[in-house]
Each structure stands twice: as structure tokens, then as C-alpha cells.
Amino acid sequence: MGRLYFVRHGESEWNVLGRICGSTDIPLTDRGREMARETGRKIVEEGLKIDKIISSPLSRAYETATIIASFLGLEVKKDDRIKEQNFGVWEGKSPIDNPEFQTAKRVFCSSYGGGESMLKTAQRVYNLLDEIKEDKDNTYLLVAHNGIYRMVQSYFMDMTNEEFASQKMPNCSVKVYEI
């Protein structure tokens, strides 16, 4: 049985402001960069075996991945399939816990007025996870976003729509999945 590791990017400027980031390319804060360094050190200290790192192309995830990769001596491959979901009309809005947005996240076929539906996002993430499962020789680290974390969680475990919509992962924390 193999393993897959997932890390959510470090703190971004919009995380601090409580805004919905989605696919808008928002940079890390200095604290976010330090969080990435701490995660890289933690991975090394714990002796986690990682062969390949795949990152979202958005700068907050990619910079997090490259910082972690510097501790592991690995290169980072960008993959659009783990780019954060486009939340359409909700991009940049605050607060992130807006009840209307939380309700909208439970409508899986909605594209949020020009964005991307949960189902379309799941399709691209699941396709990548299917490929990773087939590679029995390598252990992967994915560095992406909270919305992508929800998709990965749903790939590995059953949950209700409400449980799915409420999934949250702290910035720069590490989650492991057995595959």
C-alpha cells in the first residue's frame, strides 16, 4: 500500500483578509513563506518518503511547494488539475464564511456565475488521483488549496454534501492518505 501526502498552501494575503480566493492568483504573505519552511523542516524531521511533488500552478501553492522541495532536493511539477476551483461571482468576496457562499458550496452542479462547478473540479482532481494510484513506484506530495483538499477527501472517503462543504484544512498542514 502506498501513500499520498497533501499540503495546503501557506497563508495568502486574502486568507488574512478573509476573502474567497478561488482561482484568483493571490501571493503568500511572509508568514505563509515561513509556514512553508516549517512544513519542509517537519517533513524532513519526520523522515517522510516523498519521490515527486505536484503543485497547483497558482503562485501561493507553487511557492509553498518550491520552498518545501528545497528541503527535499526535489523538483516541482505544476499541474492545472489541482488549480483551485473558480468560484465565479464569489471570487474576492468576504467574509469567507458568508452563509450564502456556504450554501452555494452545497450545490454541486452550479458554476457560481461564470466559475466552475464542484463536479467539474472533482473530475479533474479525480483523474489525477487515478493516475497517481497507478504509479506504485512513487510517493507523491500534492500542494494545492482548501477546495482541492475537499475533492481529495471525497475521493478517499464517503461524506454528505454538508460534510464535504465544511471540510477545512489549516494552511501548510500535512494530510496523509493510504492508496
- Supply the residues annotated as catalytic: 9, 84
The string over 69-108, giving b where at least 16 C-beta atoms fall within 10 Å of a residue's C-beta and e elsewhere, is bebbebebeebebbbbbbbbebbeeeebeeeebeebbeee
Q: With the CA atoms of 148, 47, 3 and 122 taken in that order, what torsion angle do they form, in degrees rounded to the nearest 10?
A: 0
Whole-angstrom distance, CA of residue 160 vs CA of residue 33: 34
